[in-house]
Structure formats: C-alpha cells, structure tokens
Amino acid sequence: MNRIDVLDNGYVRLEQITGNDLSTVNSARVSFDKKSLEFTEKDKRLIRFLANHGHTSPFRHIFVTFECYAPLMIARQWWKYIVGSDHRDPFTAWNESSRRYITEEPEFYLPSDGEWRKAPENSKQGSGECLSEAHGFVWTHALATLQGECIDLYEAALAEGVCAEQARLFLPAYGLYVRWYWSASLQGVAHMLNQRLAHDSQKEFQMYARAVYGLLIEHFPESLKVLVNDIKEGDYSDRKQKQSN
C-alpha cells in the first residue's frame, strides 16, 4: 500500500521513505558508539523512553515524502508543516485569519479593464502585453459577476446554518484541488498528526491525517505508537477500503 484516496478526488501517496524504527534506536545509541542489527524488545523500550522523556532528536533522522492532492483549504492548513519549519523555532512562524472560525466580509482581487494581459509568445509562463480595454472589460465583468454569485451563495449558506469551514467552499479557489510534495522527519509528521487527528480539527483534514497515519504505521509501528496520541485502528481502517497501489 502506498496510496490512500481521500474525499472525492483527493489522495495521499507515500513517495519516499528513509529509515524505520531501528534507525531511531541506532541514532540514539550512537552516543555510546553502539548499534543494533535487529529490532528487539529492548529497542521497543528505548523508543518508549525517548518519546516519554522528550528525547526526540533520534526521530528526526527518519525522513518521509508524500505526494498530496487536496482542496486548497486543506493545503493552506498543511502549509505550516513544511519541511524546515520547526514548530519550536522562535524565528519562523505562520498564522493567518481562518474562515473556519470567522465570517469576515469576503474580498477578491478584480483586475481593471486595462490590466488583463496576453499570454507570452515565447514562454510557457508569465504574461505579455495588455489586452485592449474593450477585451479587458469583458473579462472584468465576467469575473465580477462570478465573484458576486459566489459571495451570495456563501452568505446564503451561512444564513441557512452551514458551518463556516464548509460554507467557504463557495468562495472561489477554496475548493480547488492542488497537488504538492510534503517532506518531513518522523517527528514532524507526528506533530502534524497529533494536531490534525484531534477531534476539533477540520473533518476533511482529519481524513488526510488518517491517510498519512495509515501509510506509515506498518513502517514505524513502535515509534508512532508512542509519538501519536489516541489513535486506534478504527481511526484509519476505513480509508484502507479505498487504497490503491
């Protein structure tokens, strides 16, 4: 199993993995110039000791890479777990207002009639000269109409009692699927799982977190047992029904 499908079109796929539970104990034992060749009950006890006493650096020698495909609203939440961003690092942080909790008035960027540009002639990216204002007027009007319709639907959904974290799907882009690679140490993955498997996390993100857990548990059964809180077989077994190789 290297992929678990999530939602209607999303998925998480295990792209690459380095290390296992034995790698963790060996990175810990190098302090004493020792190394295990087979994983034993003694190694299980060492993993529990490391996790229970906050000696987490050995878990950072294991690295995994996932390919993820999810709606933008999930991708934006996942962004805070990017590789190289240590949640304990006081010099890096990312927080933003969340439409899971608030319903501030939506605003969108709307290019003026003279700001629409042509595709470049000799490049696959970027842009070229501006379109005529007559052509630009058509697209400005069309985009403004679409944005207005989406705001009306968003506000109607809220008025009918739809939760804010789902009502925002009516706003352009929040429901758009995006694809990305996410790489992290095992400790970094566990940090994400502990936050996003929590009952108060957005339900859709919980489903992606269960998929990540389900892909890794066979590779790190002892480490995840002690690093991740309150996870049970039933929390991710339902995703196995949609797995593909």
Residue 29 bears catalytic tag: no
Side-chain-side CA neighbours of 90 within 13 Å: the count stands at 0
First vs last C-alpha separation in the chain: 5
Instruction: Please pick, among 3, 168, 196, 210, the residue that the annotation labels catalytic.
Output: 196
Amino acid at 74: I
Neighbours of 208 (CB within 10 A): 29
96 three-class SS: coil
Residue written as tokens 């882009």?
173
**Could you give the 3-state DSSP secondary structure of residue 179?**
strand
Could you tell me which of 74, 72, 68, 80 has the C-alpha nearest to residue 15?
68
Read off the amino acid at residue 223: S
Closest CA to 9 of 175, 177, 171, 173: 177
User: Which residue matches tokens 């919980």?
Assistant: 206
Beta carbons within 10 angstroms of residue 162's beta carbon? 15
- Contact between 11 and 177 under an 8 Å Cβ cutoff? The reply is no
Q: Could you tell me the two tokens for 211? A: 């998929």
Q: Which positions are annotated as active-site residues? A: 196
